[in-house]
Amino acid sequence: MSHEQADAETGERDRLPKAALLALAMTGFTAILTETMPAGLLPQIAEGLGVTESLAGQTVTAYAAGSLVAAIPLTAATQGWRRRNVLLTAIVGFLIFNTVTALSGSLWLTLCARFLAGVAAGLAWGILAGYARRMVVDRLKGRALAIAMIGTPIALSLGVPAGTLLGGAMGWRSAFLVMSATTIVLIGLVVRVVPDFAGQPAHRRRSLGSVATTPGIPAILATIFAWMTAHNILYTYIAPFAALSGLQGRVGLLLLGFGIAALVGIGVTGVLVDRMLRRLVLTCLTAFATVALALGLMAAAPAVVVVGIVAWGLSFGGAATQLQTASADAAGDGVDLANAMVTTVWNAAIAAGGIVGGLLLDRYGAGVFPYAVLALSLLALAVATMARRHGFTPGRRALG
């Protein structure tokens, strides 16, 4: 590469490529919406496939299982591929398997399509963080990642209700076909605005074991599992918990408030993550634990529940950016494998939250949720606090 080419490339990476980062954000939006949309359409899906709602609910489980088993092996297998080809492979997977879901008249074909859509998501999540960071110079990596991750809270706060309304108005199959249509637009956007990068050369590829044992990575993964399990206990079963304060008819508004607050949290994280990553993580976990305590003590007070859920969203919004930034910093050249591990642990925490929350609800009722959340968030806080030397280090991030 000539000096002129190198200078031009550095100049391009010295500013945020917003269109390209928003294309990555749209990919995350598509992955989250593909995962969660069936939850709002279970009665229609069950009727359309001629099965019970509990069986229709397994469409969500199948997707999560695909992401869980595929993220690490597919990310490892594609380390040498050009990055845009990997991204397009994942997005085309969404297009194909959402279309199959929309047209399927068989539960088993639908479950297979959902599993394979989850596989595509596992591949996408395995590369998004590394891709976003590779587009910019070191001092902009945190902000770039914050923009690339903004699709997640948007999908959770606005996309799922919109998909549910669309499915109710036009039918659940139409909702999935609309997803396929937007995915075609996304493919065109990626081809047009997302820069391509070479895969990692063989001599720089890290093994899974070496990345997993990198100082800081175990502590980060443990923090993720405890934090996300706590979050998903409450998020998955927000309806029965809201009933304790008489807000069961306002769950949609509560989740909207959560999502808007989460967007604010992402914005704050994007501004501060490069200067005070450790402080952000510890502050957010402390806030989450405080919210859990308040909800436990005053679960029957509507005002406390509303304020608590907004504060929870604010503390949670930047979590993905904070944790992926920490794992990418710790992993170095193993960033994609580290992010695949983050994806795997994150999905395991979603499953754990659903299982633990269900058991607690059946045995003790929704009133016990905040105390389980409190215990897990304090565990995450303790692990993150102890990871001072590696994982969540103090001060400004070490920029190369």
pLDDT in tens, 92-149: 999 999 999 999 999 999 999 999 999 999 999 888 888 988 898 877 887 887 788 7
Same structural domain, 145 and 215: no
User: At which of 204, 222, 245 does a domain end?
Assistant: 204
In angstroms, the CA 95 to CA 326 distance is: 32
pTM of the model: 0.78
User: At which of 204, 235, 256 does a domain end?
Assistant: 204
Q: Which of 39, 368, 256 is nearest to 247 (CA)?
A: 256
Same structural domain, 193 and 217: no
Same structural domain, 217 and 307: yes
The band of 7, judged by pLDDT with boundaries at 50, 70 and 90, is: very low
pLDDT at 10 over 70: no
Same structural domain, 75 and 154: yes
Helix (H) or strand (E) holding 352: helix 335-363
Here the CATH number for the domain that contains residue 94 is 1.20.1250.20
Domain span holding position 227: 208-386
In angstroms, the CA 307 to CA 4 distance is: 54
Please give the tally of structural domains in the chain.
Answer: 2
Q: Are 101 and 34 in contact (CB under 8 A)?
A: no
User: At which of 204, 222, 240 does a domain end?
Assistant: 204
